[in-house]
Amino acid sequence: MNFFQTHRLVKAFGGLLAVNDLTFEVEKGEIYGLIGPNGSGKTTVFNLITGYYPITSGYIEFQGKRLNGLPTWRVCKQGIGRTFQIVKPLRRMTVLENVMTSAFNRTSREAEAREKALEVLDFCELTKKQDYPAKGLTIGDRKRMEIARALATAPELLLLDETMAGLTPQEQADGVQLIRKVRNSGITIIIVEHIMHVIMNLCDRILCINYGQEIARGTPAEVANNQAVIEAYLGKE
């Protein structure tokens, strides 16, 4: 049994196949990269996994259980957390309160939610900012808080959607450290990211898609040297 797998996954928006016959497996403990040019279907894959969109055909399995058709909150309860490409914190709430709202996914007790939120804020090195209003955070800290919010749902599989976009080189380096730390804590990761040195540095394996279809898969070095990948990003000569 695979830890996580999709099988012949398809998502049609009218006549557009945003995801087209995509099969891949992720092993427990991996950092798995999903890359591809703009509009190639990466976020749609995350939206299918997490139940935001219904699947047109194919299936998704997590720890041997079918996810197809489950509502987002049930997918989360099964142990899949995610961050969003566009970070939308609850702006007037503090950092701690933002993270607590996610922790309520696992408990209805306020004391337990606070304890979990404080634990992940410490893990993400945001303790000092726990009482800041979320709207006052830098982009770097907002992205970090987004990871903290996902971690507060206690995921076994974490989907990271462009958590490095807009960050300074130093913030990117810190982000890479944090993602490694998350993996070392036992959480499996699927990461969508445009910043290639981040992907190449972090991932054990990479799947590259274009127009919703697989064009290459392999180790970072294999994918970086693949002609179809180079053409998808740079165009044909």
Ligand X SMILES: Nc1ncnc2c1ncn2[C@@H]1O[C@H](COP(=O)(O)OP(=O)(O)OP(=O)(O)O)[C@@H](O)[C@H]1O
Question: In angstroms, what is the minimal distance from the CB of 190 to ligand X?
Answer: 13
Which among 57, 40, 56 has a CA at the least distance from the CA of 212?
Answer: 40
- CB–CB of 30/189 below 8 Å? yes
Listed residue (161, 112, 121, 110) closest to 145, CA to CA: 121
Total residues contacting ligand X by CB under 6 A comes to: 12
Could you tell me which residues come within 8 angstroms of residue 187 by beta carbon, excluding any fewer than 6 positions away?
Answer: 151, 155, 156, 157, 158
**Selected range binding ligand X among 12-20, 23-31, 120-128, 216-224, rule: CB under 6 A:** 12-20
For residues 151 and 122, is the Cβ–Cβ distance under 8 A? no
Of 6, 20, 43, 83, the residue at the interface with ligand X (CB under 6 A) is 43
Nearer to ligand X, 16 or 90 (CB): 16
Torsion over CA: 102, 108, 110, 111 (sign)? negative
User: Shortest distance, CB of residue 30 to ligand X, whole angstroms?
Assistant: 20
* Shortest CB 209 distance to ligand X, Å: 7
**What DSSP character marks residue 156?**
S
Structure tokens at 84: 């969003």
- At residue 154, φ and ψ (nearest 5 deg) are 55, 55
Q: CA dist 121 to 9, 56, 127, 132, 226, Å? A: 35, 38, 5, 12, 39
**Token digits of residue 191:** 């990461």
Residues 82-121 that bind ligand X (CB under 6 A): 85
Q: Would you count residue 36 as binding ligand X (CB under 6 A)?
A: yes
Interaction pattern, residues 196-215, with ligand X; x per rule: CB under 6 A = --------------------
Q: Which stretch binds ligand X (CB under 6 A): 11-19, 58-66, 114-122, 127-135?
A: 11-19
- Contact between 42 and ligand X by CB under 6 A: the answer reads yes
Q: How far is the CB of 17 from ligand X (least distance, A)?
A: 9
Pick from 13, 54, 57, 221 the residue near ligand X by CB under 6 A: 13
> Which residues contact ligand X by CB under 6 A?
13, 16, 18, 36, 38-44, 85
